[in-house]
Amino acid sequence: MNKLFESSKADGLQGALNVSRRGFLVTTSTLGAGLALGMTTRPAASSSMPLDEVNAWVHIATDDTVTIRIARSEMGQGTLTGLAQLVAEELDCDWDKVTYEFPTPGQNVARERVWGDYSTGGSRGLRASQQYVREGGAAAKMMLLQAAADQWGVAASTCSAIDSVITHGPSGRTTTYGAVAANAAALPVPTKVTLRDPADWHIAGKPLKRLDTADKLTGKLVYGADINLPNMLCASIMDCPVMGGKLVSFNESAISAMPGVKGAVAVVTDEGTDGVAVVADTWWQAQSALQKLPIKWDLGPNANYDDATLTAMLEEGLSADEAFVGNWGGDVEAAFASAETTVESVYKCPSQNHAPMEPMNATALFTKDRCEVWCPTQNGEAALAAASAASGLPLNQCEVYKTILGGGFGRRGAGDYVHQAVKIAMAFPGTPIKLQWSREEDQKHGFFHPSTMAKMRGTLDADGNLTGLHMRISGQSILAGLMPHALVEGADYLQFQGVIKAGLNPAMDDHSICYDIPNVLVDHAMRNPPIRPGFWRGVNVNQNTIYMECFLEEMAHAAGRDPLEFRLALMKNQPKSAAVLKAVAEQGGWGKDDGIGRGLAVLHSFGSYVAACAEVTVDEGGNLNMHRIVAATDCGIAVNPQQIEAQVQGSFVYGLSAALYSENTLKNGEIQEDNFHTYPSMKIASMPKVEVIVMPSGGFYGGVGEPTIGVAAPAVLNAIFAATGKRVRQLPMRDQSLRA
């Protein structure tokens, strides 16, 4: 199983999550201030980068257009706009003249990784870059001021700038950034800069509109799927439908006369994929021919695997003797032995595909001495590594051109589709090949949000206080599948997101448990089925928060106590978590007796503190109506409040879509849900109104794209219980009665 993912080790699937933050810190410290201030190697004359850039982060044209370089990917979360705001804040440029570009991963390699980490996931896009991008903007401003001062023969300290206009205080003379940018570029990059206090921000921290909206409204934006190069051919691919299976043969002659068909190519990659692609003038021709291509598969060792096998494996883990421990305190078994009341429940979450709207794709052009790839990727450097590995060419003979992504949600951190595109292109040297997966291929060959189960046991004393809690998680480790080097003596600490003991693993402190429970044990029986696991928006937070937050409500009810008060009693040393919980309870009408079921959930993850209060009713026919959700986020420092609102709202759609409808099942080793008719997604009619409370408490940068997804499902499940008395412990909800 692990062999399938060995090639991921070296590259930047690392970085998809917090757990790799340590790796990130190592990287930055070795590069030192050069990374921060953009002072490493200037671009070579042959580079496509303009030579008159002020520094690596900022290029200013003579007409004052400011181009801010964005290394992270943009997949909908607004990362590029937030990063541009942070640079522009320190640069003090005219925001109305700001645009952006993505420096290529190849340029990053050539310039000693001046733009740092390209990986975009784990809600790290802003919080892991904010320091050095702000320093880049501040350094550029100092250089521009110095250039103007030199021109006027005055001290730079007598000059100031705002909105791209530089003013010499004593004389009142002015010039613009565009007028002095070329001179500024020749100056040494400052080694020390002072950053503005967020309290004084005027561009960052403001609810500015995104920089990338206009072309998304007219169809002009070119996604990876829309790439069109001269003489390009198109490919559609079918990988062995069972993981671990292999292509035996195919009969190309059966399709060679079909319109536009150029050939069929066996595609075997180091990523463990094994299949066949048809190449034609157009994708529709390639796809039509692929449907008619006779293919023989060796379905391999997993040909009989099905969901019952998976479930049995997880159930066994629920009571297995050995498990990795992620949180402990006191003496749980003693607490059970002396308990007044004991409650036990078993929960289960299914496998789920990411299903971004743009199915996987990549375009590759291979010649004997160069390999270029155009693709939507969450990790440009990993895509570059994939191009190099697949083509056998060194990194400096490869290049990746990133497009904006038609959704990522964690799926596009993987490089499987890049490997495939390059392999196909190698069969057509000199001809660009666009590989576009069908939706069916995207569904069957995902990196799935792992199915896990949990056995929850809790104890109460005679006063209804929670005295002990044992959370046993059983299920697949994502790290074991994708990056086994990140395991710690075999343990996957990422598995404990949201419930891990603070201080156990420094990389996981952004996900530490928000309760103080006197006697606690959280452990994980790792059970790895033959399914590719993946980082799926929120990652393990989704399952863990359902288990913890629903079960705590079960305990509150067993104790006859109010679930809000019951939680707060366990949060006396968790003021930030308590604050978001109280905020949603207050705005969400907690405690009202109006026939509406209300449910709560709270979570600390990705460095942020979040909570939700859901309001639902369930009609006589069992139909769920989600009236309103109030969601609060304390992300420390809010870089763009209106984008935070959009992310929180969107995270509820993604999370509730999963909780209501999404499940991938295996039959004879094959994923059964191959398109949206069997893998439904939420539509506008079902989306509850989401009221977003952004309550940044300052002093830290927390993530935004993911945290609130964790509270979406448990808040609604708890509200359903409040409305009907029915406790749903297995997802998805569809096809289950929601009435007691």
Partner 1 sequence: MKTLNVNGEPVEVDADDTTPLLWALREQLGLTGTKYGCGIAQCGSCTVHLDGVAVRSCVMPLAAVNENTKITTIEGLSDDGSHPVQQAWAELDVPQCGYCQPGMIMAVAGMLNATPDADDAQIDSQITNICRCGTFQRVREGVHLAKEITLKSKGEMA
User: Which residue ranges make up the site for partner 1 (CB under 8 A)?
Assistant: 75-78, 209-210, 212-214, 216-223, 225-226, 228, 234, 259, 282-284, 355-359, 404-409, 436, 438-439, 642-643, 646-647, 649-654, 657, 675-677, 681-685, 687, 689-690
Q: In whole angstroms, how close is the CB of 366 to partner 1 at the nearest point?
A: 22
Host H or E run for residue 407? none
CA gap 677, 679 in Å, rounded = 6
Q: In whole angstroms, how close is the CB of 536 to partner 1 at the nearest point?
A: 12
Closest to partner 1 by CB, 548 or 693:
693
Closest to partner 1 by CB, 22 or 676:
676
Closest to partner 1 by CB, 76 or 563:
76
Closest to partner 1 by CB, 393 or 709:
709
Closest to partner 1 by CB, 359 or 703:
359
Q: In whole angstroms, how close is the CB of 612 to partner 1 at the nearest point?
A: 14
Closest to partner 1 by CB, 234 or 332:
234
In the block, tokens 């909908």 appear at: 76
Q: How far is CA 600 from CA 226, 704, 718, in A?
A: 43, 19, 7
3 state DSSP class of 473? strand
3 state DSSP class of 708? coil
3 state DSSP class of 261? strand
Look up residue 466 and give its amino acid.
L
Closest to partner 1 by CB, 371 or 653:
653
Q: In whole angstroms, how close is the CB of 438 to partner 1 at the nearest point?
A: 7
Look up residue 281 and give its amino acid.
D
Closest to partner 1 by CB, 286 or 390:
286
Closest to partner 1 by CB, 167 or 681:
681
Closest to partner 1 by CB, 3 or 220:
220
Q: In whole angstroms, how close is the CB of 32 to partner 1 at the nearest point?
A: 35
DSSP 730: B
Q: In whole angstroms, how close is the CB of 249 to partner 1 at the nearest point?
A: 27
Closest to partner 1 by CB, 76 or 190:
76
CA gap 646, 708 in Å, rounded = 11
Q: In whole angstroms, how close is the CB of 359 to partner 1 at the nearest point?
A: 7
The answer to whether 285 and 259 are in contact (CB under 8 A) is yes
Q: In whole angstroms, how close is the CB of 655 to partner 1 at the nearest point?
A: 9
Name 117's Cβ contacts closer than 8 Å, sequence gap at least 6. 12, 15, 24, 27, 71, 128, 129, 381
Structure-block tokens of residue 648: 């929180």
In the block, tokens 């991938």 appear at: 664
Name 330's Cβ contacts closer than 8 Å, sequence gap at least 6. 468, 517, 518, 519, 520
Q: In whole angstroms, how close is the CB of 519 to partner 1 at the nearest point?
A: 39
CA gap 445, 652 in Å, rounded = 25
Q: How far is CA 339 from CA 391, 469, 558, 562, in A?
A: 63, 11, 13, 20
* Residue whose C-alpha is closest to residue 241's, from 335, 305, 198, 321: 305
Burial 537-564 (b: 16+ CB within 10 A, else e): bbbbbbbbbbbbbbbbbbbbbbbebebb
Q: In whole angstroms, how close is the CB of 658 to partner 1 at the nearest point?
A: 11
Q: In whole angstroms, how close is the CB of 162 to partner 1 at the nearest point?
A: 25
DSSP codes of every residue in 220-247? ----GGG---TT-EEEEEEE-SBTT-EE
CA gap 201, 195 in Å, rounded = 10
